[in-house]
Chains A and B, each alone.
Chain A
Amino acid sequence: MLWPRSRLWHRFSRNPLSVVGFAIMSVIVLAALLAPWVTPYPLHAGAVVDISNSGKPPSLAHPFGTDTVGRDILTRTVFAYRLSLLLGIVVLSLATPVGVIVGLLAGYFAGWRETVFMRITDVFLSIPPLVLALAILGFLRPNMINAMIAVSAMWWPWYARLTYNVTRQVATEGYVAAAEVVGASAFHILFREILPNCAAPIVTKMTLDLGFVILLGSSLSFLGLGVQPPTPDLGSMVAEGARYLPDLWWLAVFPGLAILCAVLGFNLMGDGVRDLLDVER
């Protein structure tokens, strides 16, 4: 664990920016988990209307201001993180295993498997992600679950590419040759010898990607294809707030900053995770 003064913490904290990222990420995750208890107006996460308070600028009572129907933007931002994080976790837990297995098989076995798997991957990679997601959502109803499916479908090829490249390199290591000479099964070689040595870049990429998946989910919501009202979502909050710029600037700026913080936090932390997972020879 990341105890202060431990070896792992020492490696993680060599770069002070990783610590900043770790702090941002901790605050976001904790706030999202404890949203009903830490937000000032938990009810405002739903379809509440309080016309008397509508469009109020930031104040002590409403640090991020209120929206056009009088809901507290701070509360809605924190609740929106819950969905964003959920999206990130679900997408990565769908996309990563698929990409990793494809990459492992293509990287270890030369010949037709390599060709087939990597060409399919390349096809997916050649389509701009947002276009692909939009195309998928064109067939499916726009809602949270379908957004997750759409984002996952365009996310796995990146993991296939990454795993493929790392596998190709790890496969030349002496211990892989030794396992082959011993007569170990392909399953053992792929999942016990090679995969653990690909884990560092994969986990690092996952940390970095959490921020980007949140960003993409927000983009879809911004376009009205993700989470549907009244559930709070950072993307749709920015989209709606944008219509009131520049007068009610806080409507768009605070959810926008929230997206920025998440992306930044996960990216900074990703660097630390990479330092942490570096294999010492």
Chain B
Amino acid sequence: MAEVTRIEAVGVSKAYRVGDRRVQALSRVSLRAAPAETLAVVGESGSGKSTLGRILLGVERPDEGEIRLDSAALSLPLPKAMRRRLQVVQQNPLSTLNPRRTVGQSVALPLRVHRLVAPRQTTARVRELLDLVGLPTDTQDRYPNALSGGQRQRAALARALAAEPDLIVLDEPTSALDVSVQARVLHLLIDLQARIGLTYIFITHDLSVVRNIAARVAVLYRGRVVETGPTEAVFRRPRHRYTTMLLSAIPVVSAAEEAVKPQWPQETRAQTAEAESAGCTFAPRCPFALDPCWRTPPPIESADGRHFAACYNPKDATS
């Protein structure tokens, strides 16, 4: 493809041992993001989205497949120069900063590790970074317990930016924040992307946020990408049944939003054990599952070369 790719996952699989069981966290996941693009990775618990995040960051080794940064495959453990280029902002503002270290010390860590500024300039650079994320410069002498949740996430962002990365994995960066604070942090992220040209992998379960921040979205279910494409297309014309179900479940605040949500048959019965499917992992929960859905995993296909879905009975086919 002619488009430039910053990061690319190619056929990534990963399994864990939990006791005697083997849990397939990811199965042949492929996705990519262009420079200065935001790719949202959406999924519920158990979808493998956090595992994917760690593999994209190069802190965990996939069983199969590889991650390419600017077309070069990552080899683990990452050399220091590569390490710097991939950074993270995590979900939990309570644990992302060391309570025993000042905010300044935390933000200065990448500067020291990668010797990005002369030691005498460290303080000045930390102030600059804090200012960049909208924190008062006296924050650097404070301990995290003096900061609100939103401020801590800003400080964590400043630490990631200190490394001068090409890509930041945003792992549910605003999920623990109140909406009034979330909105301001999201604005900051977009603003920085425009100024610095960062690529974001935005891992989240919150589709309303995705709709407004990501150019493209990949929907993960039980370790597989079931649908991926431009955000607008995926939200307006979801093809995979799981995407449809996910969109229909979002609590919204206006009739206008209710109107754009797809319909999903109301199902409130819950089973303790789900049937196993050799094919599509969503088949046991899918009222539209056909025979082949239970037998062979559906291939991920596209009509327009942009919007892909892995579904034998996609939404357009019946309704």
Contact = CB atoms under 8 A, between A and B. Distances in A.
Do A and B come into direct contact in the complex, CB within 8 Å? yes
Interface of A: 173-175, 177-185, 188, 192-193, 196-197, 199, 279-281
Contacts of A185: 113
B101 interface: yes
Given A178-B156, A178-B159, A280-B145, A183 B80 contact: yes
Interface in B52-94: 57, 59, 78, 80, 83-84, 86-88, 90-92, 94
A196 B101 contact: yes
Contact of A177 (B88, B144, B163): B88
Contact of A281 (B57, B80, B87, B145): B145
Given A175-B106, A197-B100, A182 B87 contact: yes
B59 to A, nearest CB: 6
A176 B99 CA distance: 11
B298 interface: no
A100 to B, nearest CB: 15
Contact of A182 (B92, B100, B109, B145): B109
A183 B98 contact: no
Interface residues of B, number: 30
B113 A181 contact: no
Nearest to A180: B59
Contacts of B114: 183
A185 B84 CA distance: 13
Contacts of A173: 95, 98
B110 interface: yes
Given A174-B90, A281-B145, A184 B113 contact: yes
Given A196-B101, A280-B145, A181 B57 contact: yes
B97 interface: yes
B99 to A, nearest CB: 5
B110 A182 contact: yes
A174 B86 contact: no
B101 A182 contact: no
15 contacts: A174-B96, A175-B95, A175-B101, A177-B90, A182-B83, A182-B109, A182-B110, A182-B163, A183-B163, A184-B113, A185-B113, A196-B100, A197-B98, A279-B100, A281-B94
A195 B283 CA distance: 48
| Residue picked from A173, A175, A281, most chain B C-beta under 10 Å | A175
Q: Which 10 A-B pairs have the closest CB atoms?
A: A196-B100, A174-B95, A183-B83, A174-B96, A175-B98, A280-B145, A174-B90, A173-B95, A182-B110, A279-B99
A178 B93 CA distance: 12
A173 B96 CA distance: 7
Contacts of A177: 59, 88, 90
Interface string B237-266: 000000000000000000000000000000
Interface string B180-194: 000000000000000
Nearest to A175: B98
B99 A192 contact: no
A180 B80 CA distance: 11
A182 B92 CA distance: 17
B96 A281 contact: no
Contacts of A281: 94, 99, 144-145
A179 B95 contact: no
Nearest to B89: A178
Contacts of B97: 174-175
A74 B114 CA distance: 62
B92 A174 contact: yes
Contacts of A184: 109, 113
A62 B156 CA distance: 66
Given A174-B92, A175-B106, A280-B145, A183 B113 contact: yes
